Chain A
Amino acid sequence: MSVQNGKAIRLSAVRKAWGETESLKGIDLEIPAGKFTAILGPSGCGKSTTLRAIAGLETVTAGTVHIGEDDVTMLPPAQRQLSMVFQNYALFPHLSVAENIVFGLRVERLNKAERDRRLAEVAELLELTPYLDRKPAALSGGQQQRVALGRAVISRRPVCLMDEPLSNLDARLRDEMRREIRQLQRKLGFTMVYVTHDQIEAITMADQVVLMNAGRIEQVASPQELYSAPATPFAARFIGTPPMNLLPAGVFGAGQGAEHLQIGIRPEQLRIAAEGPLKAMVRNAEFLGADTLVELEADGTRLLAKLQGNHSFAHGAPLSFSFEAEDVHLFDTSSQTRVDDAARAASFARGAS
């Protein structure tokens, strides 16, 4: 199958309101051509609405949508040169697998020879050849998913949108399809916009992750950067399991000039050390196999530590923890933004006072 050239997508100041409720509150977003971009966020954050605004299935209340060089804000979905995979696959139940896949080509009135050639190619690529005459109802969830993918890629459009395509599959199949979708995107080179609420999907598949919350974009970054340098407390807690500990400065006994800061440390980056700067009491410990998850309390604030190996602690036992200066994330409590202050981070790691 020939490689297609993806197109970049640009959203500028996009708003979407339904009466009083505003589900998109000004979205500015650049989606690079030929890359895999995941839109991640909790349910109701506006990620699906963003996708539907790109697709043209929702008209935007304000702002513009560009695909490539063209302003498509007012164009119907058919004229935007994109394909889409829906959460429930949206396969036509009365049509066979082959007819489902070539639906768009028939609408375009592509001649039958070319249609059959491309169908054979796509069926081969997605291992659907034995099922072409079946109806979707006679396929398993994973096969239905492949048919939906086939329908999306056969027309070789430069942009492909996916709305939580894996959420109806079981865990094992989901892992498999995740790799397959990623490979497909790399191989064919289209621009992928992939909506998900699952951080694992976003982090493992995407070149760029767009983290959304309550109708706004929290952060746009590579998966690595999202993990190592979250831009907001929300991003810090949304990425990573268990979520990052966000602690008031008081926990470290540090007073002067640090009250406006929240100190973020991931549970997996805490280590037990006799004279560590973070002192806490054990509330509960859960053995997870490879590690132990310890629930702690420090100065009235709950926090978690993920320790390697098996540990058992008495309830109420005092523990001290140390951590590296570069693993400390500082956030301003009033502006809810990241503060890059290496000196102060180091002082927390040393045990400021």
Chain B
Amino acid sequence: MVPPRPPIKERPMQRHWIHAWLLLTPAFVFLLAFTHIPALTTLWQSFRTTPRGRRPSRWAGLENYQELISDPIFWKVLGNNIWFAIGTIPTSILIALVMALWVSERLPGRGFVRMAYFTPTVLPMIAVANIWLFFYTPGFGLFDQITGFFGFGQSNVLGSPKTALVGVMVVTIWKEAGFFMIFYLAALQTIPPSLIEAARIEGAGPWTIFRRVTFPLLMPTTLFIGVNAVVNAFRMIDHIFVLTGGGPDNASSLLLYYIYETAFRFWDTSYAASLTVVLLALLALLALGQFFFLDRKVHYK
């Protein structure tokens, strides 16, 4: 015979929170060890000098931040990053939306087209960058072969300071658009077909339906994608490793890549820490702004 369980009220309440903490601990330990403690350490380090040889680290106050303000490379890289965000985010969101609208229609081979659009997202980023490196190769890369066929001269997109950043941006758009398309596709399936039918009966053409029904209903998705895209734009690093290495002359270097270089190539860890703090503050500001500014204009179900 199973003894009857005591009613919940009679059991001591402490037991519950002990269990809760025990269950939370493993995840919490990892979060602390790999996120929260490093974040605080970074903040702490950004106010100290980098230890070099026999000279130990000392309190530096805002020295690192002063250095940062007078660092031309920091401003250049930040500018690059802003241009990178402006150049990639709207374009990739627009392309994602157009692709999603296109593949949510009933067309033959729809599954294949969807898969094709999503492939860039599945591929490892280093592989993607290598493929594009070949496309861009001066002389015998894909682009030069095509332009050469029409009688144009060779180009060196990644090698020239004017075009290197654009070259990286194109790869990013190509990769992000397929990823964002999936979100739009999922959102499109949740719009009841009768809404579109009702709009058609009321006399709306495809453009009016998109402008007044579909797009407003996709706004929550657009906001979500927008926040993600901004964060991604400031976290971009892997393509740069393979494609340009930040060059030439920092023309295609972005914030995170500059942080990496400062920390692990020049070993100026304290300066890198203060760069990181600035990057985080910037991201937090952008995300907050997006949520507070756009949230009021978005209809949630």
Chain B minimum-CB-distance residue to A102: B202
Q: Which of A78, A87, A108, A137 contacts B200 (CB 8 A)?
A: A78
Determine the chain B residues whose CB is within 8 A of the CB of A57 once the complex forms: 197, 200-201
Determine the chain A residues whose CB is within 8 A of the CB of B301 once the complex forms: 93, 137
The answer to whether A144 has its CB under 8 Å from any CB of chain B is no
Q: Which of B198, B208, B299 contacts A84 (CB 8 A)?
A: B198
Given contacts A88-B192, A90-B192, A83 and B201 within 8 Å (CB-CB): yes
* Interface size in chain A (residues, C-beta < 8 A): 24
The answer to whether A104 has its CB under 8 Å from any CB of chain B is yes
Q: Is the CB of B192 within 8 A of A82?
A: no
Determine the chain B residues whose CB is within 8 A of the CB of A76 once the complex forms: 200
Determine the chain A residues whose CB is within 8 A of the CB of B208 once the complex forms: 107
A103 to B299, CA, bound (A): 17
The answer to whether B100 has its CB under 8 Å from any CB of chain A is no
In chain A, residues 82-112, which have Cβ atoms closer than 8 Å to a Cβ of chain B?
A: 82-84, 86-88, 90, 92-95, 103-104, 107-108
* Interface size in chain B (residues, C-beta < 8 A): 20
The answer to whether A155 has its CB under 8 Å from any CB of chain B is yes
A88 to B197, CA, bound (A): 12
Chain A minimum-CB-distance residue to B298: A94
A131 to B84, CA, bound (A): 47
Determine the chain B residues whose CB is within 8 A of the CB of A68 once the complex forms: none
The answer to whether A32 has its CB under 8 Å from any CB of chain B is no
The contact string, 1 if C-beta is below 8 Å from chain A, for chain B 197-237, is 11111111100100011001101000000000000000000
Q: Is the CB of B203 within 8 A of A104?
A: yes
The answer to whether A141 has its CB under 8 Å from any CB of chain B is no
A104 to B204, CA, bound (A): 8
The answer to whether A294 has its CB under 8 Å from any CB of chain B is no
- Interface residues of chain B, those whose CB is within 8 Å of chain A, are 192, 194-195, 197-205, 208, 212-213, 216-217, 219, 299, 301
- Interface residues of chain A, those whose CB is within 8 Å of chain B, are 55, 57, 76-78, 82-84, 86-88, 90, 92-95, 103-104, 107-108, 135, 137, 151, 155
**10 A-B pairs in the complex with CB atoms less than 8 angstroms apart:** A57-B197, A77-B197, A82-B201, A87-B194, A88-B192, A90-B195, A90-B197, A92-B213, A104-B203, A107-B204
